[in-house]
Amino acid sequence: MFLFYSPAYLAFMLPGLALALFASILTKTRFARYSRVSARSGVSGARAAQMLLDAKGIGHSVRIEPTRGFLSDHYDPTSRTLRLSPAVYQSPSLAAVGVACHEAGHAIQHAEKYAPLGLRTALVPAAQIGSNLSYPILLVGMFMGWHPVLINLGCILLGAAVLFTVVTLPVEWDASARAKKLMVRAGIVTPAEMGGAAKVLNAAFLTYVASAVTAILQLLYVLSRARR
């Protein structure tokens, strides 16, 4: 949601918006490309994730189940469930096994008590509240003549959402780094094939970078307006 529909706001946000568009296109393009390339091992995304979990000795404690949506893959630490989209769950493509192993990387992070993942999980409630309430509060504060209490409260809530996007970056990067190493070690892909899977994961990571940059720019814009 935009606070201001003005050329100044759009110009300020342009770098983040451009990066987000580029990242989205790159992710979809690379996923589509490597969805047409099957791994020599022939294992599906679901099987690849299971192999990584088993290799770490946590296969019995993490459920893997299909979910709906395009690239809706995620790991739920509260229920220890790894959910894979249709394009990933059954497919033996390099794109599918790469994404599946990335999500398995999150489950491994959870099992090994990876600190940034724990911090991100703890920030979820604050980030959700911040995302839902910051803009309404800021808008009311604006209409009340930039009421300092409301503007400060809105900025704090928006800052919580921004912090979540920043903390997400090392979590996602580490999950991909684990996936790249373990999928080769487990025999899911060859070293040569890993390059294709890595390109999909790198593009996906760029979407998180774009999200963080956009969130930071929004906060900076609000703060700059508030000072006036």
What letter represents residue 200's amino acid?
V
CA 36, CA 106: separation in Å to the nearest integer?
25
Concerning whether 172 is annotated as a catalytic residue, the answer is no
Give the CA distances from residue 150 to residues 71, 156, 221, in Å, rounded to whole numbers and listed in that order. Answer: 37, 10, 16
- What dihedral angle (degrees, nearest 10) is formed by the CA atoms of 98, 54, 61, 108? -50
Rounded CA separation 10/37 (Å): 39
Compute, in degrees rounded to 10, the torsion defined by CA atoms 180, 191, 61, 102.
30
C-beta atoms surrounding 17 within 10 Å: 14
129 and 162 in contact (C-beta within 8 Å)? Answer: no
Task: Compute the distance between CA of residue 198 and CA of residue 184 in angstroms, rounded to an integer.
Answer: 11
Residue among 103, 112, 172, 193 flagged as catalytic? 103
Catalytic residues: 103
